[in-house]
Structure 1
Amino acid sequence: MVEYNALLRLPSSDELPDSDDTPVDNEIQYLFASLLWGILSHTWSDRQDWFLGANMGIYYDVDNPRIPIVPDCFLSLGVTRHKGEFGRKSYVLWEENYTAPVLAIEHISHAYNGEYDLKMQKYIKLGVLYYIVYNPEFQNRDQHEGLEVYRLTDGIYNRYQAGQEPVWMPEVGLGIGRDIGIFNGWEREWLFWYDQDGNRYPSPVEVIQQQETQNAKLLKKLQELGIDPDTL
């Protein structure tokens, strides 16, 4: 536990940058996190105890309180989903009751940024339970698979459920895996959340399509019964 005097010297989120201002390689590095957020916003719509951040600085080291780590995507549980009128500017551990993210995702870039070594050590220090590396483009260069999930055990990240996909994370209550889908009008491989039985949660586009299909079926049923839906 941090001493009280040390807490008095720690900067607030209003004093800290929200990111490290490092540009991403391409729009996929933004969009994949947006898709994961969109799915979770529907799937966990009745929950207010989670927060998903993208390209947001996490301030966690009380000895170096102004130096963040900035995951491409991270998920925290047991925190307030909507904080303040304007939301979080950054994720400051001493303002979140020292609740570390339960998982962090890094999207491999054209320029290698230490995702398989240096960043791992920072996430270990932060205490992130699941560390996920998504490498859709540079597997051969990096000698790694397209999706690798690591779990923190006794202060070390060990590969978790290697060769399985989707990967179920019981402490999170979600699985993660790859599939072809459409997001932002773009059909390609994306990361998706899954349930415990390996069923993929629908994307925002698929949710709308499902609702439209259900409405069309209902309309047809009413017409077969001779009921004018406009009178209901």
Structure 2
Amino acid sequence: MVKFDAKLNLPSSDELPCSDDAPVDNENQNFIPNFLLFLLEFIWAERQDWFFAVDMGLYHTTGVSPSIPVIPDGFLSIGVERRKPGNKSRNSYVMWEENYTPPIFVIETVSQTPGGEYTTKMAIYAKLGVLYYVIYNPFFYQRDKHQPFEVYLLVDGKYQLQSGEPFWMSEIGLGIGRATSWSGGLEREVLYWYDEQGNRYLTPEELAQQERQRADLAEQQLQNLVAKLKAQGIDTDNL
């Protein structure tokens, strides 16, 4: 008797839609996870064992149908190929094509229309085995009776709310927390990655700005020194 293997009938990533095409109703839903992605590409530029997706269908076999995905605002998987063979990008994240590796980190940003972040999606991510689940809710947290920023850790199959910010995620080797960013002439609160000492990882733009500020400060200090020497009657042109 031949044993039936359900995995043989699972659809491939080419047969599955990449998302549900549902429009977002809050700018943060796209901006926050994309900000984390671009920063991670800078921090982990030399690593090829991770994948971060934004608004991508995550197909799994723990729900009612493997053809129905859950779509996080953003998620990180470690121990998978950053790009598929042939330097190809993913249309979706299909668990049975990723050696059943679940994301280690998922982020949801709450919008005006509740999306089950504290209920349905939380249950799905727990069942999938997502270790860290972050809910960012700066605008509607009072409505939802939660905090603006919450980190949950999966313990014995259930999520437990953690304390501390930035929060260090040792299994990932990164911390996460809120900070103010200046980008494109705009000031806004975003989520940043942090190191174990609680230092915020800066974007390339912020690092360049920081370097310009150092150079400007050094130039100002030099000018002050020259003016002081001249005031003492010292010919600085021959120094």
Question: Could you say which TM-score interval applies, normalised by the shorter chain?
Answer: 0.7 to 0.9
Measure the CA separation in 2 of the matches of 1:158 and 1:57: 25
Tell me the residue number matched to 1:88.
90
Find the residue that maps to 2:47 and give its secondary structure.
coil
Asked whether the 8 Å contact 2:26–2:112 carries over to 1, the reply is: no
* Distance (whole Å) between structure 2 residues aligned to residue 104 and residue 184 of structure 1: 27
Quote the residue 2:78 is aligned against.
Answer: 77
Query: What is the rounded CA distance, in whole Å, between the counterparts of 2:10 and 2:207 in structure 1?
Result: 43
Distance in 2 between the 1:218 and 1:48 partners? 38
Partner of 2:177: 177
Q: How many Å separate the matches in 2 of 1:133 and 1:37? A: 16
What is the distance in 2 between the residues matched to 1:106 and 1:156? 17
Q: Which residue number corresponds to residue 68 of structure 2?
A: 67
Larger Rg: 2
Matching residue of 1:38: 38
- Measured in 2, the distance between the counterparts of 1:46 and 1:174 equals 16
Pairs within 5 Å for 1:144-155: 144-155=146-157
Structure 2 partner of 1:25 = 25
In structure 1, how many angstroms separate the alpha carbons of the residues matched to 2:16 and 2:218? 52
How far apart, CA to CA, are the structure 2 residues paired with 1:184 and 1:60?
38
Whole-Å Cα distance in 2 between the matches of residues 61 and 34 of structure 1?
A: 27
| Contact kept in structure 1, 2:179 and 2:192, CA below 8 Å | yes
2:161 matches 1:159 = yes
Aligned 8 A contact 2:106 2:133 in 1: yes
Structure 1 contact 53–74 (Cα < 8 Å) conserved? yes
Q: CA deviation at 1:184?
A: 4.2
Matches within 5 A, 1:1-232: 5-61=5-61, 64-84=65-85, 85-160=87-162, 162=163, 164-210=164-210
Query: Partners of 1:212 and 1:12 in 2: how far apart?
Result: 49
Query: In 2, distance between residues paired with 1:113 and 1:122?
Result: 13
What's the TM-score once normalised by structure 1's chain length? 0.86
Q: Any idea what the Cα deviations from partners look like across 1:54-99, whole Å, max 9, x if unmatched?
A: 0000001266110100000100001111224440000000111111
Instruction: Name the amino acid aligned to 1:76.
Output: S
Q: CA deviation at 1:31?
A: 1.1
Judge conservation of contact 1:38–1:204 (CA < 8 Å) in 2.
no
Helix, strand or coil for the counterpart of 1:199? coil
What CA distance in whole angstroms lies between the structure 1 residues aligned with 2:182 and 2:4?
Answer: 50
What is the alpha-carbon distance in structure 2 between the residues aligned to residue 204 and residue 121 of structure 1?
37
Superposed CA deviations along residues 130-174 of structure 1, whole A, max 9, x for unmatched, are 0110001011111111100001111110112x2x11000100111
| 1:213 to partner: Cα distance | 6.0
Taking structure 2 as the reference length, the TM-score comes to: 0.84
Letter of the 1:177 counterpart: G
Could you give the per-residue CA deviations for residues 108-148 of structure 1, whole angstroms, max 9, x where no partner exists? 01011111111111001111000110001011111111100
Structure 1 residues 151 and 105, CA gap change in structure 2 (3 angstroms) = same
Aligned-residue offset at 1:187 = 1.1
Q: Secondary structure at the match of 1:35?
A: helix
Measure, in 2, the Cα distance between the counterparts of 1:17 and 1:35: 24
Paired residues, number: 216
| Cα separation, 2, equivalents of 1:150 and 1:124 | 10
Q: 2: distance between equivalents of 1:10 and 1:204?
A: 42
Structure 2: where are the runs of 5+ without partners?
Answer: 220-239
Residue 44 of structure 1: how far off its partner (Å)? 0.8
The change in CA–CA distance for 1:49 and 1:216 in structure 2 (over 3 A counts) is farther
